Structures are given as C-alpha cells and as structure tokens.
Amino acid sequence: METSKLRVKGARLRASLEQMAQIGATPAGGVHRLALSDEDKQARDLFVRWLKEIDLTATVDEMGNIFGRRPGRNDQLPPVMFGSHIDSHPKGGRFDGILGVMGALEAMRTIHENGVQTERPLVIVDWTNEEGSRFAPAMVSSGVWSGALERDWAYSRTDINGKKQGEELERIGYKGPAPAKKWPTHAYYEYHIEQGPTLERLGKTIGAPKGILCLHWYDVYLQGEANQVGPTPMEGRHDALCAAAEMILAANTLPDRMKGNMVATVGEIQNGPNSRNIIPDKVHFTVDIRSWDDSHAITAWELLKKDFKEIAARRGTPIRIEETWRCPHAPFNEKLVQRVLDTAQQLGYSVHPMVSGAGHDASYMNQVCATAMIFVPSIGGRSHVEVENTTWEDCEAGANVLLHCLLTTANER
C-alpha cells in the first residue's frame, strides 16, 4: 500500500499518555513510577495488554525488558527496534521515557490498522530501569542486553532500603525467561523529549541528535566523628557534612576549571545521623560527570578526586570512592541521523541537529546497531520534574517522524 500518507492518531497517543500518567500520578501533576515498583508493574501490565491487542508477540527477558514483535515479510531479516522506558524519577515528569514507548506503540497501531507489511520485522521495546535513580546505574538493562554490563552485577544492585534489583524484578513478576542477550538488529530508534531548552528557544519542532554525551557516575563515602554539637568546640571537629559541602562546590566549579565542554553535578546526598544536634559522621553523595569527550571527563575526574582527597585529609574525614559506572559517549549512525532530519522535513516539520546531554538506552543500542533519536521540545526546558511538559501537537509530530523513519528503515534490504 501507499504509505507516504500515513499519519499517527494524535488523540489516541494523547489518551494513552494520559492513561499512563495516572499510574503513579503525583498531586502536582507529575509521575512517581520508580523502576520495579508496584506502579512500574501496573504500567507494564497495561503496556503488555496493549501489545497483545494489536497481535504483537510479547516477550519478557531476564532483565524485565519487554519486547513486542511484528513479523516482516522476510522474517529472517534482522528487525528494526524502537522504544524507550516506562520508569520515572522520584516525582518525575509525564513524558520522559513513556513518550518514546507510547509514541512507538502509536506507530505500531497505525501500521497494524492499515495492514502495512514491512520487509523486516518490527520490535517495540520497554527497557527496564533506564533512570538509575532507584538502582544505579542508569540504562542498566539495555546495558546488559547489549553485552556492556553483566546481568548478575545488575541483579545485585541495591536501592536505598537494601532491596536488590534482581529480587524486585522477581517480586513484580517481570524476571522473564528469555536471555537478556542481543540479537542481530538492523537499526534502533528512540523517540524522546529533549529535556533541555534548545528546541523551544529556536522554535523548532523536531531535534535530531548526532549522539549522546558520556556519563560517568561516582559514589563518595565520608567518615566523620559524631558528637554533641553544644559542648564540642569548633576546633578539632571531623564533620563529614562540612567536608562534603566543600567537595560539592569543588564539583560545581570543575567545568569552569576544565574550560568547559562538560557538566558536573552532585544530585544525591545522605547525611548521618541527620540530627540537628549531632555532628555528622556519615555522608554519602553522588557525582555525575558528562562530556562529548570521554578523556576530558576522565581528566576532570582525576582533578576532582585529588581535591576530594585533599579536603578529606585536611578535615580528618576518611574517604572511600567508588567509580560506579562509565558509559562512553555515543556518536550515532550518520545515515540514520540524516534520515531523521530528512523525514521531519518531508513531513513539514522544522528540525534542528543537536547533541543529547541526557542519557538514553540509545547509548548502549548504538554499540549494537545503527542508532538514532528523535527529540521534541520540552516546555521551559524542564525535565525530571513534575512540571515537565510537551505540547500534544509536538508529541504527535515526533510520532509521525518515528513512523516514517520506521517504514523507510524496515523496508531496507
């Protein structure tokens, strides 16, 4: 059939997003749907039901990744894969991740109801625990699937309450039987909100990232000496929180000291015993460093680590550092990126080439096959927060770009 006129149904995409947004809805309009929580399970169950409604073969692998497969005319050919994630941050937004899954589903529904037969199979995917906020690191299950991370290490990762990722997978009934192991794949597309201000500022509808920055995560543990705050003089204290405060500011000034081309953030901290009248003796905090240049990020970390050790020694707060995770920067397949640019233009949408500062499962998929992403604007450039928002028109536009990228790519020999 003539497929160039096909378009997704924006109203149906909106309805699916709104229904998903009810699962873990927060009073301030966001979503709290942490990986492998009861809310994650509920959203997964709904997703699987929707896959089956359009005759997709649903499988779950041992990392809980959910795949929905539609056969191709030549079913032996490696498939085109596309999707994103269902989990959210604590008090996160209604679009991060889920737009890429519901947009992908909407493209599949459109293909299904129009009886379109593609040459290659199509596989929609929901990757488990993309955010990494409950169990570090992020993108862990595409990491295992691609062969970059080890399954048993992933299972052993614990949340703040000591729950293990593997056990939580089992608890919610999503430790599936299929091996989490890559298969030959022709191409991967991920549709996502931009999560930054660029598209909105430029008044563009579609972003075509040329790739994703590297992501390096570190965990820092400080040991101080707890004591009564009143009688203990200021001199001679070993205050772990004060040491952390100096370290956090050292991280904040790191990009300037490195002359840019990177960002550095401390986003999470635990302070113990966390009482107003006890000198803190146990602090844990995280460091996130990102750059397009992996070696620049590592040089920056070496400098910061030196700062941390100097501060810890001066304040008498022994330090332990874990180099938790490094995901290299991911330069996407140029042909596929160009296809996103061309497809957007053919559909009449304005488009802008850019770089992704946010991490995505597309990083690990880029190690498996030709990969590209499709971005739509984030209102006010806000993301990972409850006010995260994107217009319904833009949601629909991105899904149309995805649909037509899929049709072209799935008919490639």
CB of 360 to ligand GLV, least distance (A): 7
Report if residue 103 touches Mn ion, rule: CB under 5 A. Answer: no
CB-nearer residue toward ligand GLV: 198 or 317: 198
What is the contact mask toward ligand GLV in residues 342 to 361, using x (rule: CB under 6 A)? ----------------xx--
**Among Mn ion, ligand GLV, none, partner that 359 touches (CB below 5 to 8 angstroms by kind):** ligand GLV
User: Between 106 and 194, whose beta carbon lies closer to ligand GLV?
Assistant: 194
Closest CA to 288 of 132, 159, 142: 132
* 106 near Mn ion, rule: CB under 5 A: no
138 versus 283: smaller Cβ distance to ligand GLV: 138
Helix (H) or strand (E) holding 112: helix 98-113
89 vs 296, which CB is nearer to Mn ion? 89
Q: Among candidates 284, 292, 322, which has minimal Cα distance to 305?
A: 322
Q: From CA 340, how far away is CA 82, in angstroms rounded?
A: 14
- The nearer residue to ligand GLV, 358 or 405, going by C-beta atoms, is 358
Query: Tell me, what amino acid is at 235?
Result: E
CB of 362 to ligand GLV, least distance (A): 11
Cross-strand pairs, 152: none
Q: Rule CB under 6 A: is residue 131 a binding residue for ligand GLV?
A: yes
Q: Work out whether 373 is an interface residue with ligand GLV (CB under 6 A).
A: no
Task: Using the CB atoms, write b or e for 265-283: b if 16+ within 10 Å.
Answer: ebeeeebbeeeeeebbbbb
Position 96 contacts Mn ion (CB under 5 A): yes
Please give the angle made by the CA atoms of 16, 20 and 25, to the nearest 5 degrees: 140
Residue 89 φ then ψ, to 5°:
-80, 165
What H or E segment, with its residue span, contains residue 355? Answer: strand 351-356
Please provide the DSSP assignment of 66-94 as one string.
Answer: EEEEE--SSTTSPPEEEEEE----TTB-S
The residue within the footprint of Mn ion, chosen from 30, 72, 93, 97 (CB under 5 A), is 97
Query: For residues 289-328, which are near ligand GLV according to CB under 6 A?
Result: none
The footprint of Mn ion on this chain (CB under 5 A) covers a number of residues equal to: 2
Residues that bind ligand GLV (CB under 6 A): 131, 138, 358-359
Residue numbers at the binding site for Mn ion (CB under 5 A): 96-97
